[in-house]
Chain A
Amino acid sequence: MANHLLLGLRVLLLEDDPLDAELIFHAVRDAAPESAVRLVDTRTDFVRTIDEFLPDVILSDHAVADFNVLDAFRLAQSRAPGSPFILVSGAFEQRASECLQAGAADFIPKSELARLGPAIITALSLRAPLRSLSPRQRQVLHLLATGRSTREIALGLHLSIKTVETHRAQLMRRLDIHDLAGLVRYAVRVGIVSTGPGSD
Chain B
Amino acid sequence: MSTSPSLGLRVLLLATDPRDAELITGAVARTNPRNTIVQVETKAAFVRALEVFEPDVILCDHGAEVSAVGALRLAQAQLPASPFLLLADRFQQSDGDCLRMGAWDCIIRSDLSRLVPAIKLAVEARTPLRRLSTRQREVLQLLAMGCSTREIACRLHRSVKTVETHRAAVQKRLGIRQLANLVRYSLRVGLVEREEPRQFEHAVA
Contact = CB atoms under 8 A, between A and B. Distances in A.
B108 A93 contact: yes
B57 interface: no
Contacts of A91: 108, 111
A146 interface: yes
B96 to A, nearest CB: 6
Contact of A195 (B106, B148, B187, B195): B187
Interface stretch (A14-22, A66-74, A185-193): A185-193
A182 B146 contact: yes
A60 to B, nearest CB: 15
Interface residues of B, number: 33
Contacts of B197: 185
Given A93-B108, A100-B99, A188-B194, A181 B91 contact: no
B114 to A, nearest CB: 5
Contact of A185 (B178, B187, B188): B187
Nearest to A93: B111
Contacts of B95: 92
Given A185-B187, A196-B188, A92 B180 contact: no
Q: Which of B114, B178, B180 has the most CB of A within 10 A?
A: B180
20 contacts: A91-B111, A92-B91, A92-B95, A93-B111, A106-B96, A107-B96, A111-B90, A115-B93, A144-B180, A146-B180, A179-B146, A180-B183, A182-B146, A184-B184, A185-B192, A185-B197, A194-B184, A196-B184, A196-B188, A197-B185
